[in-house]
Chains A and B, each alone.
Chain A
Amino acid sequence: MARPRTRDLVTGGIWLTAALIAFAIIAPALWALTASLKPPAELLRFPPQWLPRSVTFHAYADVWSLVPLARWIENSVVITFLGTFGNLVSCTLVGYGFARFRFPYRDALFMVVLSTLMLPKIVTLIPIFLMFKRLGWVDTFLPLIVPQWVAAGGESGLYIFIARQFFRTIPMALSEAAHIDGCSELMVFARVILPLAKPPLATVVLLSIVWNWGDFLTPLVFINSQEKFPIALGLQLFKDDMLGSTKLMSELLAVTIISIVPIVVLFFLAERYFVTGSITTGLRG
C-alpha cells in the first residue's frame, strides 16, 4: 500500500513519461510545420530553430503554381468520396446480410471475408491490372473506385466486419414487427435498421476516407498522367523532381502539411470513431 506521497510520485512519473513520448511522436510534424513557415535562408541555419524568427507563408502561396496541387487535391477528393460512398453502400448491405439472415455456408463465407484482410493484396494486383488494361480503364479513376463498390477494395473486409458486429446487436423483434406492418426486407433495412446504425457507419466512412486519402500502391499502379495523380502520388513526384536538392524544401514541406491537415482535422473531430473502429475489430495492421 503506497503512501499518498509515493503514489503522487508514481502518477507524476507516468504523466511525464507519457507526455515525453507524445512530444517525441508529434515532434516531426511540428518541425515540418514550423520549417514550412520559415524563409529559405533560415531553413538551413544551424543550429536548427524550432520557432521561425520571421513567419512567412511564401511556400504556401508558391506551391500552387509550381505543381498542379489544386488538381491533385481535387483528384484525391473525388476518389475518396466515390470510393468511400461505394464502400459504405456495399459493406453495410453485406454486413447486414451476414448479420441477419441464415443461408448455407454463411459462417464459412464470413471467415473468407475476414481472411481477405490477411491475404497479401499484391498477389491479386497483376491480374487485376491486366483486366483493367483490357477494359481500357488504366489511367482513369475507375480501378481505384469500382472495387470499393463491390466490397472488394481497400479494407472492405474490415468494414463488413464492423457493420455486421453492429447489426447483430439489434433485436430481431424490431425487423419482425416491421414485417408484420408490411415492410419488405429492403424497406426494413432502409427505414428501421439504418437510422439506428449511425455510429458504425460513421466509423466505416472515416476509416475509408483515411485509407483512400493515403493509399499509394493502387494509384501508383493504375494512374500514369500527372494531372490525374492523387495528392499522395503528387507529393512523391514533387520530391523526386527535386533530385535531392534543398531549394524547394519549404514548398515540399508545405505540400506535406497540406496533405496531412484534412486527416488531422477529421481525426480530432471524430477521434472516438477511429478508436472504436480499430478496437471492435482488431483487424488492422
Chain B
Amino acid sequence: MIFISPWLLGFSVFWLWPLGYSLYLSFTDYNLAQAAKFVGVANYAHMFFEDFTFWHSLRVTTVLVGLYVPLSVVGSLLLAVLTNREVRGMRTFRAAYFLPSMIPMVAAVMLWLWIFSPRFGLLNFYLRSLGLPTSEWIASPRTVTLSVIIFLLWLSVGGPRMMIFLAGLKDIPVELYEVARIDGAGPLHQFLKVTLPLLSPVLFLNLVIAIIYTFQVFVVAYSLTQGGPLNMTLYYVLYLYRNAFQFLKIGYASAIAWVLFLVILAITAGQFWLSRRWVHFERE
C-alpha cells in the first residue's frame, strides 16, 4: 500500500479534487477578479439555449470525429496488414510510419504550413502539374476540415494505433489461416472471416481511444488554423480554452468542460454496450 501512495496523493490532488471543484465552479460566475458567485444552472441554460457558438463548436468537433476516426482506424488497420508481411526493409518502413506521431505536434504543424499554402504550397504545385484542380486548403472554410483530416491522418495513421493492430495480427495463430486456405478461402475471405473477428477486441480498443482523443483535438486548431476560417475549426477544446483562459469566464468554461466529460463518458459507455454485438472477447 505504501508503494502506491504517490499515486493516491496525485490522483486525489490532480484528478479527484479538480473534478469535484470544476463541477462546483460550473454552477458559478467567476472571472478571477471577484469571488465566485453561485448562479445555479445559469451557465448550462446559457450554453444550451443561447450560445450558438457552443453548438457550432460541438457540431464541427462531432463532424471531425465522424469523418476522421473511421478513416484513421481503417487506415491504421490496412497499414498494419500491409506491414505484417515480412518483406525486406519493412522494419524501416514501419519506423517511417511511426515517426510523425513522436515529433512535437507544433513542429508537425510547421511542416504542413507550407504544404497547405495555396500559393507556394507543395500540394497545390503537384496537383497543378498533374492537371488536377487546386484547393485553398486551410485558407477556405470549405476545405479546412479536409486539410485537418489529412494532417491528422499523416500524424497518427502509422503511430501507436498501427502498432497495436500489428501486435493483434501477430497473435492470430497461423494454423487458422492454413485451415481457411484448405477450405478454399481466398485472401479477402480469410481477412473477413478469420482476421476481423479475431482482431475485433483490438479494433474496439482502438476505436474507443481514437474517439476519446479526437474529441479533445486542440493543437492543430490552435496552431494551424486558429479556429478559422469562419470558425470552421473552432473545435470543442479550443472554444473551452478561449472561454477559460482568454475571456476568463471560469465558471462558464467549467460547465463546458463538464459537458465534454459527460459526452465522452456517454459515448464510451455506449460503445461498450454496443460491443457485445460485434466484439469477440476471448473467454478465459
The interface of chain A, by Cβ under 8 A from chain B, is 11, 14-15, 17-19, 21-22, 25-26, 28-29, 31-32, 35, 44, 46-48, 90, 93-94, 96-98, 100-101, 103, 109, 112-113, 116, 118-131, 147, 149-153, 156, 160, 185, 189, 210, 213-214, 216-217, 220-221, 231-233, 235-236, 239, 246, 249, 252-253, 256, 259-260, 263-264, 267-268, 271, 274-275, 278-279, 282-285
B194 part of interface (Cβ distance < 8 Å): no
Residues of A with C-beta under 8 A to B237:
120, 122
Q: Among B3, B90, B98, B120, which residue has its beta carbon within 8 angstroms of that of A94?
A: B3
B158 → chain A closest CB, angstroms: 6
CB pair A150–B167 under 8 Å, yes or no, is: no
Q: Among A25, A28, A221, which residue has its beta carbon within 8 angstroms of that of B97?
A: A25
CB pair A267–B95 under 8 Å, yes or no, is: yes
**Complex interface: stretch among B15-23, B141-149, B172-180, B273-281:** B15-23
CB pair A264–B99 under 8 Å, yes or no, is: yes
Q: Digitize B190-231: 1 where CB-to-A-CB distance is under 8 Å, 0 elsewhere.
A: 000000000000100110111011011011001100000000
CB pair A122–B257 under 8 Å, yes or no, is: yes
Q: Among A25, A100, A101, which residue has its beta carbon within 8 angstroms of that of B154?
A: A25
- Once A127-B18, A216-B219 are accepted as A-B contacts, the answer to whether A152 and B11 lie under 8 Å apart by CB is yes
B240 part of interface (Cβ distance < 8 Å): yes
Beyond A118-B212, A125-B244, 8 additional contacts (C-beta under 8 Å) are: A17-B82, A32-B111, A127-B22, A150-B7, A152-B7, A214-B107, A220-B222, A285-B212
Residues of A with C-beta under 8 A to B244:
125-126, 129
B125 part of interface (Cβ distance < 8 Å): yes
Q: Which residue of B lies closest to A258 (CB)?
A: B107
Alpha-carbon distance A98/B166, docked complex (angstroms)? 28
Q: Please provide the chain B residues from 1 to 52 with a CB less than 8 Å away from any CB of chain A in the complex.
A: 1-4, 6-7, 9-11, 13-15, 17-19, 21-22, 25
B115 part of interface (Cβ distance < 8 Å): yes
CB pair B89–A19 under 8 Å, yes or no, is: yes
Alpha-carbon distance A236/B107, docked complex (angstroms)? 9
CB pair A268–B6 under 8 Å, yes or no, is: no
Main secondary structure of the interface of A (DSSP, over half): helix
Alpha-carbon distance A210/B112, docked complex (angstroms)? 20
Alpha-carbon distance A224/B59, docked complex (angstroms)? 32
CB pair B164–A278 under 8 Å, yes or no, is: yes
Alpha-carbon distance A252/B223, docked complex (angstroms)? 14
B258 part of interface (Cβ distance < 8 Å): yes
- Once A47-B125, A94-B6, A267-B95 are accepted as A-B contacts, the answer to whether A210 and B257 lie under 8 Å apart by CB is no
Main secondary structure of the interface of B (DSSP, over half): helix
Q: Which residue of B lies closest to A152 (CB)?
A: B10
CB pair A93–B10 under 8 Å, yes or no, is: no
A264 → chain B closest CB, angstroms: 7
Q: Among A21, A271, A278, which residue has its beta carbon within 8 angstroms of that of B160?
A: A278
Residues of B with C-beta under 8 A to A97:
1-4, 7
Q: Digitize B74-98: 1 where CB-to-A-CB distance is under 8 Å, 0 elsewhere.
A: 0000010011010111101111111
- Once A150-B9, A152-B7, A278-B160 are accepted as A-B contacts, the answer to whether A28 and B215 lie under 8 Å apart by CB is no
- Once A214-B104, A260-B107 are accepted as A-B contacts, the answer to whether A160 and B7 lie under 8 Å apart by CB is yes
Q: Can you sample 22 A-B contacts with CB below 8 Å?
A: A18-B93, A25-B99, A32-B111, A44-B120, A93-B6, A113-B11, A118-B264, A118-B268, A124-B22, A126-B18, A128-B18, A147-B14, A152-B11, A156-B10, A216-B222, A232-B107, A235-B106, A260-B107, A263-B104, A284-B159, A285-B156, A285-B160
Q: Digitize B227-259: 1 where CB-to-A-CB distance is under 8 Å, 0 elsewhere.
A: 000000000010011001100001001100110
CB pair A127–B107 under 8 Å, yes or no, is: no
Alpha-carbon distance A79/B213, docked complex (angstroms)? 24
CB pair B4–A109 under 8 Å, yes or no, is: yes
CB pair B158–A25 under 8 Å, yes or no, is: yes
Alpha-carbon distance A103/B8, docked complex (angstroms)? 14
Residues of A with C-beta under 8 A to B219:
216-217
Alpha-carbon distance A285/B152, docked complex (angstroms)? 12
Residues of B with C-beta under 8 A to A48:
120, 122, 125
B60 part of interface (Cβ distance < 8 Å): no
Alpha-carbon distance A271/B99, docked complex (angstroms)? 10
CB pair A253–B110 under 8 Å, yes or no, is: yes
Alpha-carbon distance A35/B164, docked complex (angstroms)? 34
Q: Which residue of A lies closest to B264 (CB)?
A: A120
CB pair B98–A239 under 8 Å, yes or no, is: no
Q: Which residue of A lies closest to B120 (CB)?
A: A44
B65 part of interface (Cβ distance < 8 Å): no
A28 → chain B closest CB, angstroms: 4
Q: Digitize B99-116: 1 where CB-to-A-CB distance is under 8 Å, 0 elsewhere.
A: 110111111001111110
B261 part of interface (Cβ distance < 8 Å): yes
Q: Which residue of B lies closest to A18 (CB)?
A: B93
Alpha-carbon distance A147/B87, docked complex (angstroms)? 44
CB pair B209–A126 under 8 Å, yes or no, is: no
Alpha-carbon distance A4/B244, docked complex (angstroms)? 64
Alpha-carbon distance A202/B21, docked complex (angstroms)? 36
Residues of B with C-beta under 8 A to A103:
1
Residues of A with C-beta under 8 A to B22:
123-124, 126-127
